[in-house]
Structure formats: C-alpha cells, structure tokens
C-alpha cells in the first residue's frame, strides 16, 4: 500500500494535476506531522527494545491477580495510555505483539485482547494532538478558527474522547464477556533487562506526556526524546540502532496521500462530498458530518478521509466532528486506518486468526456506538 500511495503522489505532481502552489501547501502541512512521526516512532521502538512495554504488560498480569476480566481492564488502561501519549500506531505495532505474547504465556484466548488493542488504538486517539496524525493535521485549521494549542484542542476533545472510549469498552466487554471469565496462572519470570536503558526509556516516556500538553510544537519534545534515547543506546546497545527504526514506508504513504487528496480537492472533490456532509451546528448536523467522515475513512483510509472532509467543516466544533468520524469510525474495514493494517500483520505473524467478516460486523456496531456517543458528548463543549 505504501508504494502505491507514493507512486500516486509522484504521478499527480509529474502530470501537473497538482501545481507548485499545491505542493507547497502540502509541504507546509505535512512537514511538522512527518517530523513528529519520525521522532515518536524512534522513541517507541527504542522504549520497546528496552523492555518497557513487556514490563508494563507483566505488571498488568501481576496486578490482575489471576482474574482474566481484570487483566483485560488493565490492558484497556495500558492501550489507552499508549495511544494517548505515543499515538495509535505505537499501540498497533508495539503493544499488540506484547499483549498477544502475554496471552499465549498465560494460556488465554488471544482474540479479545487483540481486538481490544486495535479498537483502543483508534477510539482512544482523540484526546491529544499527538494521539493521531489526523489531530496534528487539524491543529492549523483549528488555530485559524481561534483554537490555540493543545489546551484549546483538549477543551474540545475531552468529552468526545471519554464517550468514545466508554462506548468501545462497553461493546467489547459485552461481546467478549464469556471469553473473559476464568483465571490464569502467574506469568513466567521477566527476562533480564539493562537497567540504564529501561530506566532512561521509562523517564523519557513519562516526561513526554507533560511536554506534549505544554503548548510546545509536539515535534520538538519528541525529537529531544528520540535524541536522548539514541545517545543512551549508542553507548549501551549500539546494535539496536539502525535505519529500520525510521518508519520510511509510513512517511512515503502519508506524503503520497497528502499529495493525492490535495490534487483531488483542486479538481472538485469537495463538491462531491458537500451534499453528504451538510451544514449546521446541532447534534444531528455534527452526526451527519461525523458519519460522512467515518464512511469515507472505511472506504479510503482515515488520513485521506480527514483531508477530504475537513474543508466542509467551517467551525471548530465541526472540525472535531470530522475527527470523531475519522478517529473512532475506522473499525469496520482493515484498511480504514494504517494502525489496523499494522495490527492485522502483527496478529497474522503471531498465528492469531481474525475473521474479517466478524471483525467488520463487530466494528460496525462499535463505530455506530462510539461515533454517536462521541458526537453527543461534543455538544457538552459548545
């Protein structure tokens, strides 16, 4: 998928479908987003190499005291924190294999834990700008509409975030209530870890949370954190440092999507979507817009969906409605978000069978509940 997106991006530039002004517009919006993506991915990968995610999962297993349902709730907390602070792709790529390995060690059904992880990667990604690339892209538009920085963003997003998260937990809990009964034995002893690498990674990740809400451009603290971890690993475990830490395929994918959607916008895409999105500021109007965004995301991925639907917003609350749709809605098709595709690869690599028709049916229920609940909660911030 990444190379198709990259080739399409090059094609719209070479053929002149997107002019120089359009390319400059894309560069201005995509640059800070891609800088953050590169830095936070390095942080997450090195923190995982230091054993931080594994330690968190084992701690959850010990705190759960053998009760499967309690362990599941602790995984919900862990997935939510990872998504909010380190982005949804971190949860999909790094937390998924850790949770699946833990389920295998404890001889638990892995499917409830796997589906919970990917749902949280999407539905918990609304609170902070750094939680999802769509949120970062929205910052410029929100700034033009009078919403300033992370504080302004969270003043609009906190209620939809809580409602969407609660909806996801309720649907998953009811769906898997029978599979989450029973008990498990204590996890095996943890492998030996480098205390310096582990401690530095833990401190860096803990400091990122307040840094991200400080009002500083998110790419700056993420870059500082990445440089600190790279320096420590260069001394303690140089072999862990390689170009593979950089998510270059994701960068190509995102860049191509930006270029293609910008070209489509310049050739009438907005006019095609406007009848679906409507106008207005009431609950029904916001739900219509969020539904359009969710539908577009499940057809063509959440990032191009946001870029396509954003021009139809026109107000801060309608921008949030678009984010509700593209963040909480991509639960039906596996290509609705990059995080879901990455998660599916991790599940297959671990031998966990995921029935796509059942995944889509459950996702349709979840997306309906989460998007509707979050849109209703959005009215509390008006």
Q: What is the pLDDT along the chain (382 residues), one digit of tens a residue?
A: 677 888 888 998 989 888 888 888 888 878 888 888 888 889 888 998 998 888 888 888 888 889 999 999 999 999 999 999 888 888 887 788 888 888 888 889 999 999 999 999 999 999 999 999 899 999 989 999 999 888 999 999 999 999 999 999 999 999 999 999 989 887 777 778 899 999 999 999 889 888 887 778 888 998 999 999 999 999 999 999 998 888 888 888 878 887 888 888 787 777 778 887 878 889 999 999 999 999 999 987 888 889 889 999 989 999 999 999 999 999 999 888 888 887 887 788 778 889 999 999 999 999 999 999 999 999 999 8
Q: Are the beta carbons of 308 and 261 closer than 8 angstroms?
A: yes
pLDDT at 46: 92
> Global pTM?
0.86
> What is the pLDDT at residue 172?
97
Q: Pick left, alpha or beta for residue 114 (phi over 0 → left; psi -120 to 50 → alpha; otherwise beta).
A: alpha
Pure H helices in 237-335: 248-265, 269-277, 283-300, 302-309, 316-328
Contact 85, 323 (CB under 8 A): no
Whether the Cβ atoms of residue 346 and residue 352 lie closer than 8 Å to each other: no
Instruction: Tell me which residue of 150, 125, 160, 149 sits closest to 382, measured CA to CA.
Output: 160
Q: Which two tokens stand for residue 330?
A: 């991509």
| Cα–Cα distance, 139 to 151 (Å, whole number) | 11
User: What is the CB neighbour count within 10 angstroms for residue 114?
Assistant: 22
Place of tokens 């590169």: 38
Cα→Cα distances 310→12, 25, 46, 141, 322, Å? 21, 15, 34, 9, 7
Rg, Å, the chain Cα set: 20
| Cα dihedral 168→170→173→174 (10° resolution) | -120
């Amino acid at each position: 998928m990444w190379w198709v997106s990259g080739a399409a991006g090059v094609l719209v530039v070479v053929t002149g479908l997107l002019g120089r002004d359009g390319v400059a517009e894309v560069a201005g919006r995509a640059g800070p987003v891609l800088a953050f993506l590169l830095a936070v991915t390095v942080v997450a990968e090195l923190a995982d190499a230091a054993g931080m995610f594994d330690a968190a999962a084992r701690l959850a297993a010990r705190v759960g005291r053998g009760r499967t349902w309690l362990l599941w709730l602790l995984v919900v907390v862990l997935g939510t924190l990872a998504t909010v602070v380190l982005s949804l792709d971190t949860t999909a790529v790094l937390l998924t294999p850790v949770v699946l390995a833990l389920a295998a060690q404890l001889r638990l059904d892995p499917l409830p834990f796997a589906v919970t992880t990917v749902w949280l990667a999407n539905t918990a990604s609304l609170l902070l700008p750094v939680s999802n690339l769509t949120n970062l892209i929205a910052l410029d538009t929100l700034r033009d509409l009078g919403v300033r920085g992370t504080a302004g963003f969270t003043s609009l997003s906190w209620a939809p975030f809580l409602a969407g998260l609660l909806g996801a937990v309720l649907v998953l809990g009811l769906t898997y209530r029978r599979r989450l009964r029973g008990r498990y034995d204590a996890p095996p002893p943890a492998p030996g870890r480098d205390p310096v690498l582990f401690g530095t990674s833990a401190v860096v990740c803990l400091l990122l949370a307040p840094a991200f809400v400080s009002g500083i451009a998110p790419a700056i603290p993420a870059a500082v954190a990445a440089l600190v971890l790279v320096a420590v690993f260069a001394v303690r475990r140089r072999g862990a440092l390689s170009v593979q830490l950089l998510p270059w395929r994701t960068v190509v994918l995102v860049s191509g999507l930006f270029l293609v959607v910008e070209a489509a916008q310049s050739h009438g895409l907005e006019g095609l979507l406007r009848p679906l999105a409507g106008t207005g500021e009431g609950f029904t109007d916001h739900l219509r817009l969020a539904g359009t965004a969710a539908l577009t995301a499940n057809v063509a991925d959440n990032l191009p969906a946001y870029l396509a639907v954003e021009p139809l917003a026109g107000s801060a609350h309608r921008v949030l409605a678009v984010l509700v749709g593209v963040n909480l809605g991509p639960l039906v098709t596996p290509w609705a978000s990059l995080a879901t595709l990455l998660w599916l690869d991790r599940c297959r690599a671990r031998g966990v069978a995921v029935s796509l028709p059942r995944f889509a049916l459950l996702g349709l229920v979840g997306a309906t509940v989460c998007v509707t609940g979050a849109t209703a909660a959005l009215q509390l911030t008006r």
